[in-house]
C-alpha cells in the first residue's frame, strides 16, 4: 500500500484579543496565593475577548494575517476546518460564517 506524500504544514498564524486579564489581579485570593498560582501554572496573563467578540472574529483576523504573510491566493483554499468548543452559534457552523 502506497503512502501519500507531498503534504506539509505551510504556515501558522495567530490572533489573540487586545484585552488581557492578569493573574496578579485575581479576585478572592490573597497575594501569597496569587503568587503561588502564577508560579505553578506559569501563567501571568490571559488574553480575553470582550463582550462583542467571538471565535469567528479571532479566526477571521488570524486568517487575514496568514494570507498577508504568505501571499497565498484565498481562492486556492479548498477546505476550511475550524476547531472550536466555543462556536459563535450552536448552528449554523462557524466555519460557514
The only residue of 1, 9, 12, 14 in contact with another protein, by rule CB under 8 A: 1
Of 23-31, 34-42, 61-69, 83-91, the segment contacting another protein by CB under 8 A is 83-91
The only residue of 54, 61, 62, 65 in contact with another protein, by rule CB under 8 A: 54
HSE, side-chain direction, 13 A CA sphere, residue 42: 0
Q: What cell numbers appear for 1 in the block?
A: 500500500
Q: Sign of the CA dihedral 87, 90, 80, 85?
A: positive
88 touches another protein by CB under 8 A? yes
Rounded Cα–Cα distance for residues 42 and 55 (Å): 25
**Applying CB under 8 A, which residues contact another protein?**
1-6, 51, 54-56, 78-80, 85-97
Amino acid at each position: 500500500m502506497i503512502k501519500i506524500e507531498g503534504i506539509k504544514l505551510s504556515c501558522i498564524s495567530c490572533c489573540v484579543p487586545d484585552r488581557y486579564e492578569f493573574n496578579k489581579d485575581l479576585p478572592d485570593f490573597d497575594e501569597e496565593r496569587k503568587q503561588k498560582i502564577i508560579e505553578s501554572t506559569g501563567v501571568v496573563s490571559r488574553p480575553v475577548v470582550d463582550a462583542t467578540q467571538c471565535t469567528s472574529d479571532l479566526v477571521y483576523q488570524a486568517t487575514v494575517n496568514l494570507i498577508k504573510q504568505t501571499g497565498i491566493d484565498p481562492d486556492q483554499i479548498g477546505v476550511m476546518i475550524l476547531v472550536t468548543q466555543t462556536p459563535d452559534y450552536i448552528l449554523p457552523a462557524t466555519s460557514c460564517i
